[in-house]
């Protein structure tokens, strides 16, 4: 392949998951690219080969709609759609609408498969359809052992993308801030000649300048951190990471001898963490017994700590961590099938609750259920599925995803039923929203098919949506139920803390911070009949559907990200200290700035709840 | 302890009880995630519904009307009770099956038209505000007496308190607060009634006391008839208005009840259809307790009032109460300006008789009376003054004040919330300013609420009638506009959007026109085009009773217009058929 | 088709030269028929082409590098992307080296044009040549063919610059200085900015521009004749 295709290679290299490939692999994959130009207003659906190729948007924007003509996603530069990128079963009837003139790089399906076979990173990202393919694909992990991807062997020099952004010590705070925003960096190095004097980060500007009301025209030396630790350009990446974790910093200046060579940020290391999740997932599929699965899943807390140290957004951390549970579940189902034989009727293993929403953090309880085909006959097949459920749920429990205290698991017979019974369940909950039903809806209205027959799941979901959409009486009950979790904010903008007991003087980040937003998003989604399950996705889709204003959705998204981020940091802190991770945070653990920010966040939630309760007259 | 302090304490205590329950209920729900809250028992829910239902009109005004109008006022009892049954049995189940919990939503969807929805919203806002006027009147009376202020000031205080009560609003939704309100209210209403009934007839049940004999052996009602006819008033137990008017009036009240927003919602807050039915039944029982007591309270209050002023046989000078010896309650109510005495013949005694009765006026002149000296006896004070007139203990009097406030505040707050949401969400967010931010929506609701209170307050100061009659007007408006649209929406699949909108506008327009003709444009005194007397009324039908006619006009015009225009789309027709086939509710209760 | 057009159409010239010419890569090129001008533009294969040269005079200046890739209808394939350096027969003038960055020492190790040209001609066979300001590419190629094989080069040519001029004309917009530069034109179609002056990148850039231009045509059906400058 021609090395002159640099422009295209560089583009690929700067976008996930291609950034995971080595230069050589990238070069060799360039030949598979076809370039296409799509005019604004063009429709591409499966008849036009939407699902026959993988599309990577070079410039422009494309919207994806489902067959109800609901907007699923708005994609922009660097986003992918088509074969395997729109793999999720609910998006099979997807249609792309080009909303800006768009240049796409297109990989034909067989090329994608071939690439994925060669590069497990691609394979992980372009998660495959169904368990069968997953198993095949996962076996490739490790066979190749792309060594240069490993944190253990990557050098810092491989990670540094740009020359350092520097300022002389004579610069003022304002000049420095201007430079940082122009260069779009979160930190800047202060250098005298080529020698490092200090470092200034966004956080410094916030905490040492804005929060203290410092004069912007003071020299930058007033606020810079001087005794900074540095890494050498020839160090291994993992050393840098260790250093960051140890010092709890997110920016590490890199030097080459005496000279400043660049800046390594936690984000630069991020992709390597997603890689470690990839390896975890890959490992999971190689295990053949519960004990070894247990061993692997014991590393989940470390994964969380790493993600937190790398400043990963809470949203992506949730996705990464959930992918581990998903893999565990799938593997357990495979193992169960090896033991019990092929299933007598089709089934779908559904994750509920936070696993379905891809919002798990530290280990949590398992919420799941089993949806069986209508040909299920309890007398003939009951035994098989009971054993299957028992095996998987026990396995999950052994791996630290403890039994659900509300028994919302597939081992409970009630939650292991054929489609027709599930339909009746949902009809009943929606028609008779008793308190118990409302509690169940909070778990079972967030469903995702982890493994098995997606068509089953799809018809259940369709039923549920048809029942809910526009049913204001039911939605009002949901809204009323959502009001039972209020942000811990008192009348005078004070934190309302738990008094007494084990968690004295704390507030519950999950139930009073995250759950209210999750509940709001669920109601918006049900009102509009949207498929999305992840809360961030739901809010985005709801704003597009007009259920909530763009501004309101954005506020809620930011709030959710902020609160979830605090939670991950909090849990990571606990895990590092060797404690059990929980959701109870003391306001004293927060800086003044964070406290204020959190109060703002909570009052956003409160406003949105008030609007909802006003609308539904509760 | 003097009466005022005691009243403060009792009112304060009941309100802290409501707030306490609200806080307790809220705190109680944030427990363990998997422990679902318990359902509310149908009996409890029935009580809450009854509290929603019973407004200042029921509590304060109805007995007053009965006291002064006698038999004729029974149409309020019949109309409201009938309306409740109609709503609970006929409308609520169908609306529920449709999945809509406000009337505008149902109408908007059924008639697939934003215009229809907007008209419904406007009708509801007009009807609700009129209904709030009635509440404001009651609140004004209660506060002026309770704080010993004049009526206007009492009303201003009441407006401020209603505003805060409604903005804090959350309390409205908590069933247990409603239950507490019902308990206070019914206790406050029945306890004095029992005492008075005991005093007058020796029968502790006022419902029976009404038909029992008094201490001197004559039945209570006979004695009342006699007493007031002696003073030239019309016979208490006789029908005075035209029968046609009575019938239409009753029908207006009945069908007008159907569209009022705050009560319908109550039926949907019960998750199970079965429970909804039984709580509707229980609510009827709890409402009946008050409604059956009302005639007794009214009659006995009238008897007591008359006997207090006219202490002996008519004509004897000493049989008329000396003004200087008037009891404390008389003085207190004088302060509010709702009770006025003018010594027309300068004898220092009070003569209270019907000087409009020409026969009796002549007789009165021979006694040296120069006209009725009770120049103003506001009917709405009767329930509140009743225990004082009957010389009951102070705590009973304080309790009645608390009960009246509870009735007025809860209904007013509920209605104001409904009005403010209708404006902020149904009008602004859904139609005029779809891009309004969430904060803007909240603010709009508050501004709308303040506006509604201001309008209602103004009209409460210059009321178009007594509280109960004002409310009757509201029902008339709802009856002529919303009820027909609802009924046709459920039972006639042929009605299309043009027909429905035309019908609503015709119904509302004709009723408003008729009312304004006799009551003055926008109730501004002096702007009426015809004097508001039975002789001038069309077929003798009072403005308050015109709602039923408006509804008929609505039915007729909607049917004709729909016949002339294209039928509604297929799916709407199917929908209408589906609502009436009882499969949803049946299937849902099976498992 | 009138007789006149028939006589002078390049298809006839192709036949003519094919018969006259001794075997050579050029003759191989001529053996494959040109794409039909009446066929839908999507049925046609194109070769997006660009050179770096020592200057703009085809008689004096030399080709330094050639980059091309194919477009099958509406889809550009990078699988065929090719970039070749050629060894000039003279010293590379300093001012042109500044533009394309090809230095003498690099160029001197490259193959000669005689060795490179057959590859290009093979790639061009049966395709329409596509370039931005195709005159240069066309004339340099024709000149080279004349010098090496003794016969000129003809073929269907699509010029993105000419297409862009038509766009300006149809919208009655005045053309400003620089409007028609490849980078500026691409910018108007929302295409990404590429490093200029590498033959392959420029060829791809021109190809993408072509796809954008065709996609933006208002006409219901576009045939090759509507697009080509030489046909």
pLDDT reported for residue B466: 60
Q: Between B114-146 and B261-268, two packed helices, what is the crossing angle to 10 degrees?
A: 100
pLDDT reported for residue C207: 92
Size of interface A-C (CB pairs under 8 A): 85
Q: Cβ contact (<8 Å) for C78 and A31? A: yes
Selected for mutation to probe chain B from A490, A614, A615, A618 (highest B CB count within 10 Å) is A614
Closest CA to B339 of B388, B289, B391: B388
Q: Are C41 and C227 in contact (CB under 8 A)?
A: yes
Decide: B and A in contact? Rule: 3+ Cβ pairs under 8 Å. yes
Q: Are B439 and B498 in contact (CB under 8 A)?
A: no
**Partner residue opposite A34 with nearest CB, options C76, C195, C200:** C76
Decide: C and A in contact? Rule: 3+ Cβ pairs under 8 Å. yes
Q: Is the pLDDT of residue A524 over 80?
A: yes
How far are the Cα atoms of B294, B404, B578 from residue B191, in angstroms, in the given order? 12, 13, 48
Closest CA to A483 of A613, A354, A602, A601: A613
Q: In this complex, is the C-beta atom of B173 within 8 Å of any C-beta atom belonging to chain A?
A: yes
Contacts of A388 (CB under 8 A, 6+ apart): A333, A336, A337, A340, A343, A370, A410
- Going along chain B from its start, the domains and CATH numbers come out as 3-25+66-304+389-585 (1.20.1730.10)
pLDDT reported for residue A23: 77
Q: In this complex, is the C-beta atom of B521 within 8 Å of any C-beta atom belonging to chain A?
A: no
A328 and A438 assigned to the same domain = yes
Q: Is the pLDDT of residue A36 over 80?
A: yes
Tell me how many domains chain A contains. Answer: 4
pLDDT reported for residue C230: 60
Write the pLDDT tens digit of every residue in A144-163.
333 333 444 456 776 776 78
- Give the end of a domain, one of A234, A269, A304: A269
A205 and A328 assigned to the same domain = no
Write the pLDDT tens digit of every residue in B34-45.
444 556 778 888
Q: Are B452 and B204 in contact (CB under 8 A)?
A: no
Selected for mutation to probe chain A from B26, B27, B28, B99 (highest A CB count within 10 Å) is B99
Write the pLDDT tens digit of every residue in A268-305.
766 555 556 666 776 777 788 888 888 888 877 777 77
Q: Cβ contact (<8 Å) for B271 and A548? A: no
Rounded to an integer, what distance in angstroms lies between the CA atom of residue B40 and that of residue B64? 35
Selected for mutation to probe chain C from A1, A2, A99 (highest C CB count within 10 Å) is A2
End-to-end CA distance of chain A: 66
A260 and A328 assigned to the same domain = no
pLDDT reported for residue B309: 83
Rounded to an integer, what distance in angstroms lies between the CA atom of residue A299 and that of residue A306? 11
The predicted model gives C71-90 an average pLDDT of 85
Interface of C with A in 8-47 (CB under 8 A): none
Query: What one-character DSSP code corresponds to residue B2?
Result: -
Selected for mutation to probe chain A from C78, C196, C216 (highest A CB count within 10 Å) is C78
Rounded to an integer, what distance in angstroms lies between the CA atom of residue A6 and that of residue C205? 13
Give the SS3 label for residue B391: coil
Q: Which residue has the tokens 């006391």?
A: B209
pLDDT reported for residue A145: 33
pLDDT reported for residue C96: 66
Q: In this complex, is the C-beta atom of A5 within 8 Å of any C-beta atom belonging to chain C?
A: yes
Please count the other Cβ atoms lying within 10 Å of the Cβ belonging to residue A196. Answer: 22
Identify the weakest region by mean pLDDT among A118-132, A217-231, A258-272, B552-566: A118-132
Q: Is the pLDDT of residue B46 over 80?
A: yes
C187 chain-A contacts, CB cut-off 8 A: none
Interface of C with A in 192-231 (CB under 8 A): 192, 194-195, 198-201, 204, 207-208, 211-212, 214-216
Q: Cβ contact (<8 Å) for C83 and A4? A: yes
A198 and A116 assigned to the same domain = no
Distance, in angstroms, between A198 CA and closest chain C CA?
35
A106 chain-C contacts, CB cut-off 8 A: 75
A327 and A447 assigned to the same domain = yes
pLDDT band at A363 (very low <50, low <70, confident <90, very high): low
**Does any domain span residue A298?**
no
Give the SS3 label for residue A379: helix
pLDDT reported for residue C46: 93
| pTM higher than 0.80 | no
A349 and A388 assigned to the same domain = yes
A449 and A482 assigned to the same domain = no
Q: Cβ contact (<8 Å) for B173 and A438? A: no
Contacts of B398 (CB under 8 A, 6+ apart): B3, B6, B7, B9, B10, B11
Distance, in angstroms, between A482 CA and closest chain B CA?
10
Domain range spanning residue A547?
478-615
Distance, in angstroms, between A263 CA and closest chain B CA?
41
Q: In this complex, is the C-beta atom of A435 within 8 Å of any C-beta atom belonging to chain B?
A: yes
Q: In this complex, is the C-beta atom of A424 within 8 Å of any C-beta atom belonging to chain B?
A: yes
pLDDT band at C69 (very low <50, low <70, confident <90, very high): very high
Phi, then psi, of A230 in degrees rounded to 5:
-130, 165
Rg of chain A over all Cα atoms, to the nearest angstrom: 25
Length of chain B: 591
pLDDT reported for residue A618: 62
Domain range spanning residue C46?
3-230
pLDDT band at C71 (very low <50, low <70, confident <90, very high): very high
Rounded to an integer, what distance in angstroms lies between the CA atom of residue B12 and that of residue B152? 22
A165 and A254 assigned to the same domain = yes
Q: Cβ contact (<8 Å) for B587 and A427? A: yes
A439 chain-B contacts, CB cut-off 8 A: 33-34, 36
Closest CA to A64 of A511, A515, A541: A541
**Does any domain span residue A368?**
yes
Q: Residue A78: left if φ>0, alpha if ψ -120 to 50, beta else—which one?
A: left
Q: In this complex, is the C-beta atom of B445 within 8 Å of any C-beta atom belonging to chain A?
A: yes
A30 chain-C contacts, CB cut-off 8 A: 78, 81
pLDDT band at A520 (very low <50, low <70, confident <90, very high): very high
Q: Which residue has the tokens 């659900």?
A: A404
CATH number at residue C76: 3.30.420.10
- Higher-confidence residue of A584 and B535: namely A584
The predicted model gives C28-53 an average pLDDT of 87
Tell me how many domains chain C contains. Answer: 1
pLDDT reported for residue B590: 36
Decide: B and C in contact? Rule: 3+ Cβ pairs under 8 Å. no
Write the pLDDT tens digit of every residue in B74-92.
888 888 888 888 888 777 7
Rounded to an integer, what distance in angstroms lies between the CA atom of residue A61 and that of residue A49? 18
**Assigned token pair, A534:** 């992840």
A447 and A486 assigned to the same domain = no
**Does any domain span residue A347?**
yes
Distance, in angstroms, between B483 CA and closest chain A CA?
20
pLDDT reported for residue A407: 83
A6 chain-C contacts, CB cut-off 8 A: 195, 201
Q: Cβ contact (<8 Å) for C216 and A101? A: yes
Closest CA to B196 of B475, B55, B391: B391
Q: Which subunits sit against C, judged by 3+ Cβ pairs under 8 A?
A: A
**Partner residue opposite B445 with nearest CB, options A405, A470, A614:** A614
Q: Cβ contact (<8 Å) for A472 and B435? A: no
Please count the other Cβ atoms lying within 10 Å of the Cβ belonging to residue A166. Answer: 18
Rounded to an integer, what distance in angstroms lies between the CA atom of residue B339 and that of residue B389? 13
Q: In this complex, is the C-beta atom of B110 within 8 Å of any C-beta atom belonging to chain A?
A: no
Q: Which residue has the tokens 């095949």?
A: A136
Write the pLDDT tens digit of every residue in A471-517.
888 888 888 888 878 888 877 777 888 777 777 788 888 888 888 99
A96 and A37 assigned to the same domain = yes
Helices (H) and strands (E) in chain A, counts: 23, 18
Closest CA to A406 of A349, A366, A362: A366
């Amino acid at each position: 392949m021609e090395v002159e295709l640099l422009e295209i290679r560089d583009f690929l290299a700067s976008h996930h998951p291609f950034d995971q490939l080595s230069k050589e692999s990238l070069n060799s994959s360039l030949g598979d690219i076809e370039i296409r130009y799509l005019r604004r207003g063009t429709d591409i659906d499966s008849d036009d080969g939407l699902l026959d190729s993988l599309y990577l948007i070079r410039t422009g924007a494309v919207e994806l709609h489902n067959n109800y003509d609901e907007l699923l996603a708005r994609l922009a530069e660097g986003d992918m759609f088509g074969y395997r990128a729109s793999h999720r079963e609910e998006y099979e009837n997807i249609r792309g609408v080009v909303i800006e003139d768009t240049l796409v790089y297109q990989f034909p399906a067989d090329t994608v498969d071939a690439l994925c076979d060669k590069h497990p990173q691609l394979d992980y990202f372009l998660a495959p359809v169904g368990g069968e393919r997953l198993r095949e694909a996962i076996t490739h992990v490790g066979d190749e052992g792309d060594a240069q991807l490993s944190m253990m062997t990557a050098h810092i020099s491989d990670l540094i993308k740009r020359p350092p952004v520097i300022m002389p010590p004579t610069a003022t705070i304002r000049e420095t801030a201007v430079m940082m925003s122009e260069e779009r960096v979160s930190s800047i190095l202060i250098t005298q000649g080529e020698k490092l004097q200090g470092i200034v980060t966004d956080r410094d500007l916030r905490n040492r300048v804005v929060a203290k009301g410092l004069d912007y025209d003071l020299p930058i030396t007033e606020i810079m951190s001087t005794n900074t630790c540095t890494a050498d350009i020839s160090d291994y990446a993992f050393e840098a990471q260790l250093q960051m974790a140890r010092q709890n910093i997110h920016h590490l200046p890199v030097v080459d001898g005496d000279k400043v060579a660049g800046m390594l940020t936690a984000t630069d290391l991020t992709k390597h963490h997603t890689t470690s999740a990839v390896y975890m997932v890959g490992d999971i599929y190689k295990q053949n017994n519960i004990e070894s699965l247990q061993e692997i899943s014991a590393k989940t807390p470390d994964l969380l700590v790493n993600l937190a140290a790398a400043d990963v957004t809470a949203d992506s951390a949730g996705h990464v961590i959930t992918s581990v549970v998903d893999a565990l579940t799938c593997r357990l189902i495979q193992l169960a099938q090896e033991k019990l034989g092929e299933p007598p009727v089709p089934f779908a293993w559904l994750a509920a609750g936070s696993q379905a929403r891809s919002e798990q953090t530290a280990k949590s309880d398992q919420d799941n259920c089993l949806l069986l085909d209508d040909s299920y006959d309890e007398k003939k097949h009951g035994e098989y599925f009971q054993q299957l459920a028992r095996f998987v749920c026990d396995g999950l429990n052994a791996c630290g995803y403890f039994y659900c205290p509300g028994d919302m698991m597939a081992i409970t017979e009630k939650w292991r039923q054929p489609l027709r019974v599930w339909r009746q369940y949902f009809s009943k909950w929606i028609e008779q929203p008793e308190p118990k039903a409302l509690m169940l809806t909070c778990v079972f209205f967030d469903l995702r098919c982890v493994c098995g027959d997606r068509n089953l799941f799809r018809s259940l979901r369709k039923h549920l949506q048809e029942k809910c959409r526009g049913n204001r009486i039911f939605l009002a009950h949901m809204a009323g139920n959502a009001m039972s979790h209020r942000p811990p904010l008192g009348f005078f903008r004070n934190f309302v803390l738990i008094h007494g007991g084990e968690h004295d003087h704390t507030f519950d980040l999950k139930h009073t911070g995250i759950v209210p937003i999750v509940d709001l998003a669920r109601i918006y989604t049900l009102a509009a009949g949207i498929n999305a399950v992840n809360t961030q996705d739901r809010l985005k889709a709801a704003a597009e559907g007009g259920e909530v204003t763009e501004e309101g959705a954005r506020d809620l998204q930011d709030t959710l990200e902020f609160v979830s981020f605090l939670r991950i940091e909090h849990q990571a802190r606990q895990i590092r200290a060797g404690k059990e991770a929980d959701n109870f945070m003391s306001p004293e653990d927060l800086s003044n700035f964070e406290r204020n920010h959190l109060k703002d966040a909570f009052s956003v939630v409160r406003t949105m709840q008030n609007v909802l309760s006003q609308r539904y007259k509760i | 302890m003097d009466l005022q302090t005691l009243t403060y304490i009792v009112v304060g205590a009941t309100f802290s009880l409501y707030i306490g329950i609200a806080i307790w209920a809220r705190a109680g729900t944030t427990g363990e995630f998997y422990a679902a809250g318990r359902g509310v028992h149908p009996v409890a829910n029935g009580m809450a519904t009854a509290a929603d239902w019973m407004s200042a009109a029921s509590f304060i005004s109805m007995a007053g009307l009965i006291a002064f109008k006698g038999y004729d006022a029974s149409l309020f009892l019949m109309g409201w009770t009938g309306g409740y049954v109609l709503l609970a049995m006929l409308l609520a189940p169908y609306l529920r099956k449709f999945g809509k919990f406000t009337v505008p939503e149902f109408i908007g969807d059924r008639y697939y038209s934003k215009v229809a929805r907007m008209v419904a919203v406007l009708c509801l806002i007009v009807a609700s505000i009129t209904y709030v006027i009635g509440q404001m009147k009651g609140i004004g009376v209660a506060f002026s007496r309770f704080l010993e202020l004049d009526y206007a000031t009492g009303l201003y205080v009441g407006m401020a308190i209603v505003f805060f009560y409604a903005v804090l609003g959350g309390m409205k939704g908590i069933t247990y607060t409603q239950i507490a309100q019902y308990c206070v209210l019914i206790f406050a209403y029945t306890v004095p009634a029992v005492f008075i009934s005991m005093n007058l007839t020796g029968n502790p049940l006022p419902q029976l006391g009404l038909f029992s004999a008094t201490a001197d052996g004559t039945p209570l009602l006979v004695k009342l008839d006699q007493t007031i006819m002696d003073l030239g008033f019309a016979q208490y137990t006789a029908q005075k208005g035209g029968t046609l008017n009575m019938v239409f009036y009753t029908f207006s009240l009945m069908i007008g009840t159907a569209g009022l927003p705050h009560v319908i919602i109550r039926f949907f807050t019960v998750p199970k259809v079965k429970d909804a039915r039984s709580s509707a039944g229980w609510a009827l029982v709890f409402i009946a307790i008050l409604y059956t007591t009302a005639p007794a309270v009214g009659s006995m209050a009238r008897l007591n009032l008359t006997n207090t002023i006219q202490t002996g046989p008519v004509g004897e000078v000493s049989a008329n109460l000396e003004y200087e010896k008037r009891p404390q309650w008389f003085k207190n109510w004088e302060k509010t300006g709702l009770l006025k005495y003018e010594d027309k013949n300068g004898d220092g005694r009070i003569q209270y008789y019907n000087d409009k009765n020409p026969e009796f006026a002549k007789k009165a002149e021979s006694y040296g009376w120069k006209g009725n000296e009770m120049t103003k006896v506001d009917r709405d004070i009767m329930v509140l003054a009743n225990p004082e007139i009957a010389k009951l203990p102070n705590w009973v009097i304080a309790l009645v004040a608390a009960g009246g406030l509870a009735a007025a505040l809860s209904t007013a707050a509920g209605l104001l919330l409904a009005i403010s949401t209708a404006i902020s969400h149904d009008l602004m967010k859904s139609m005029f300013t779809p891009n309004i931010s969430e904060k803007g929506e909240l603010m709009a609701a508050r501004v709308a609420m303040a506006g509604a209170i201001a309008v209602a307050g103004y009209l409460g100061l210059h009321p178009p009638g007594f509280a109960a009659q004002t409310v009757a007007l509201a029902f008339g408006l709802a009856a002529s506009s919303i009820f027909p649209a609802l009924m046709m929406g459920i039972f006639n699949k042929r009605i299309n959007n043009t027909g429905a909108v035309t019908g609503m506008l015709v119904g509302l327009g004709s009723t408003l026109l008729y009312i304004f003709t006799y009551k003055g444009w926008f109730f501004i005194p002096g702007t009426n085009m015809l004097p508001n007397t039975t002789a001038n009324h069309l077929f003798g039908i009072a403005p308050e009773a015109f709602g039923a006619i408006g509804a008929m006009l609505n039915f007729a015009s909607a049917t004709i217009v729909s016949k002339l225009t294209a039928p509604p789309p297929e799916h709407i027709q199917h929908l209408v058929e589906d609502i009436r086939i009882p499969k949803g509710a049946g299937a849902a209760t099976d498992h | 088709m009138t007789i006149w057009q028939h006589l002078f159409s390049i298809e006839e010239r192709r036949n003519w030269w094919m018969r006259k010419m001794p075997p050579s890569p050029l003759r191989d090129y001529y053996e494959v028929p040109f794409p039909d001008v009446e066929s839908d533009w999507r049925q046609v294969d194109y070769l997006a082409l660009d050179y770096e040269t020592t200057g703009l005079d085809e008689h004096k200046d030399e080709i330094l590098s050639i980059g091309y890739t194919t477009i099958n209808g509406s889809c550009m394939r990078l699988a065929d992307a090719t970039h070749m350096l050629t060894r000039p027969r003279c010293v590379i003038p300093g001012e042109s080296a500044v533009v394309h960055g090809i230095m003498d020492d690099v160029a001197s190790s490259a193959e000669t044009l005689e060795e490179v040209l057959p590859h290009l001609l093979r790639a061009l066979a049966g395709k329409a040549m596509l370039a931005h300001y195709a005159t240069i590419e066309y004339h340099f190629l024709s000149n080279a063919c004349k010098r090496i094989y003794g016969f000129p080069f003809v073929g269907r040519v699509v010029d993105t610059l000419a297409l862009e001029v038509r766009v300006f004309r149809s919208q009655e917009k005045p053309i400003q200085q620089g409007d028609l530069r490849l980078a500026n034109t691409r910018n108007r179609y929302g295409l990404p900015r590429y490093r200029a002056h590498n033959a392959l990148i420029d060829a791809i850039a021109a190809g993408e521009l072509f796809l954008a231009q065709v996609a933006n045509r208002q006409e219901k059906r576009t045939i090759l004749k509507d697009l080509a400058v030489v046909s």
